[in-house]
Amino acid sequence: MEARDPELKKELDATLHARRELGEEYDSALVESFLEKVEQRLDGTVDRRVRRRLAESQMADARGGARPKSAEANFGERYGFGIISLVLAIPLSAIAVTNADLEGLIVAWFGIVGVNAVHAARGWPWQRRPQRDESDWEN
């Protein structure tokens, strides 16, 4: 397995070696020290990503490009979709009851709920895959 960050691998090896030499009574101090180094590394990575995204946003603004959708715009889209689907549900329900009684109404409402669920699921954070650059772990 290839290490993503050779420096952290070296630090972990050194921490494990120090634990073998010093014994279990220093475990918490060694773990704390290693976690501090990992946290510093992550902070640096996050800082680089934020600076990069900020620069990309500023470049897009300077060029007059489209900005990514904000959470508020996404909420408005979902809210509007929900209202439209409820308004359309009234005639769909009437048609379903007229043609197929209660079973038709149930099928129509399952369809309405299904369409809304699929639309809502589009924006769930765990379904978005963040793009990672290999350079994120480099200095």
Supply the DSSP symbol for 70: P
Could you tell me which residue, 56 or 73, shows the higher pLDDT?
Answer: 56
Say if residues 37 and 128 touch (Cβ distance below 8 Å): no
Could you tell me which residue, 119 or 124, shows the higher pLDDT?
Answer: 119
In a domain, 137, yes or no: no
Residue range of the domain that includes 111: 69-126
Residues 103 and 92 grouped into a single domain: yes
Residues 26 and 44 grouped into a single domain: yes
Structure tokens at 3: 């290490």
Q: Give how many domains the chain has, as a whole number.
A: 2
| Mean pLDDT confidence for 36-56 | 86
pLDDT of amino acid 66: 55
Asked if the model's pLDDT at residue 6 lies above 80, the reply is: yes
Model confidence pLDDT, tens digit, residues 88-106: 888 888 988 888 989 999 9
Q: What is the pTM of this model?
A: 0.40
From 62, 74, 89, select the one nearest 121 (Cα to Cα): 74
Residues 59 and 83 grouped into a single domain: no
Residues 62 and 78 grouped into a single domain: no
- Mean of the per-residue pLDDT values of the chain: 79
In a domain, 135, yes or no: no
Can you spell out the DSSP letters for 91-123? HHHHHHHHHHHHHHHHHHHHHHHHHHHHHHHTT
Asked if the model's pLDDT at residue 55 lies above 70, the reply is: yes
Supply the DSSP symbol for 68: P
pLDDT of amino acid 90: 87
In a domain, 139, yes or no: no
| Mean pLDDT confidence for 28-42 | 84
